Structures are given as C-alpha cells and as structure tokens.
Amino acid sequence: MAELRRDKELRSLTYRERALKMYPWICARCGREFSGKKLRELTVHHKDHNHDNNPPDGSNWELLCLYCHDYEHTKYPEEVTPGKTTPSHQKKPSSTHQPFAALDKLLQKNKV
C-alpha cells in the first residue's frame, strides 16, 4: 500500500512540474496569481478527472488554486471512472425526503 502511495506521489510531481512549466502561475478559475511560497497552493486539475490521463501537451490539465480545485470536485461527489457510466435505474436519488408524499390523501379527507 505504501508503495502505491509513493508511486502516485511521484507521478503527480511529474505532471505538476510539467504543468507549472507550461502554464502561467495563475488559477484558471479565479485568476489569482501565485509565486514564491504561495505556489504550493496552485494545484493541477485533470479536466476529465482521470489522473492517469497525462498527455505530453498538457491538454487535460488546468492550474487551479486549492479553493477552486475543491469547488470543482464538489461538482462530482463520487469519483468518475472514464468510459464507465451508471445506468439511470441504478442512480441514487439526490434526495430521499418527499414532503408531499401523502398530500393527495390529506386533500381527499378535506373534500369530504
């Protein structure tokens, strides 16, 4: 397990270093500029959410600050597996609470 974690860290350093050489040190969302010690707050976001998709031209990357990167991932609460979709009948509803589930029965009682 430790070896897998170490490999992932090495891989991320490689594409991060490449992205920092390719792109200006500016968050692609909020436009904040980074330099010096603050540069560590600039992260590489994979546009397709596949961390193994690291093309040499950097077309799957964008530099985002920590805050914008976190916000971007809140849009996708479950990890997205490229090429794999969940059938619509297996998708969980966004909410389980149904406040008007028995409303028709209540209305029928009032009509009588």
- Tens of pLDDT along the chain (112 residues) come to 888 777 767 666 688 888 998 999 999 999 999 999 999 999 999 999 888 898 889 999 999 999 999 999 888 765 555 555 545 445 555 567 777 777 788 788 766 5
CB 56 within 8 A of CB 96: no
Residue 88 lies in a domain: no
Q: What is the pLDDT of residues 34-62, one digit of tens each?
A: 999 999 999 999 999 888 898 889 999 99
> In this predicted structure, what is the pLDDT of residue 79?
54
Size of the chain in residues: 112
Q: What burial letters (b/e) apply to 78-99, b meaning 16+ CB within 10 Å?
A: eeeeeeeeeeeeeeeeeeeeee
Q: Where are the alpha helices (DSSP H) in 23-102?
A: 66-74
Domain that includes residue 26, residue range = 13-81
Residue 105 lies in a domain: no
Residue 99 lies in a domain: no
Q: Considering its fold, how many domains does the chain have in total? A: 1
Residue 89 lies in a domain: no
> In this predicted structure, what is the pLDDT of residue 65?
95
CATH of the domain at 39: 3.40.1800
> In this predicted structure, what is the pLDDT of residue 89?
47
> In this predicted structure, what is the pLDDT of residue 88?
47
Residue 95 lies in a domain: no
Widest Cα–Cα separation across the chain: 75
Residue 26 lies in a domain: yes
- What is the rounded distance in angstroms from the CA atom of residue 63 to the CA atom of residue 31? 10
> In this predicted structure, what is the pLDDT of residue 112?
59
Residue 58 lies in a domain: yes
Residue 104 lies in a domain: no
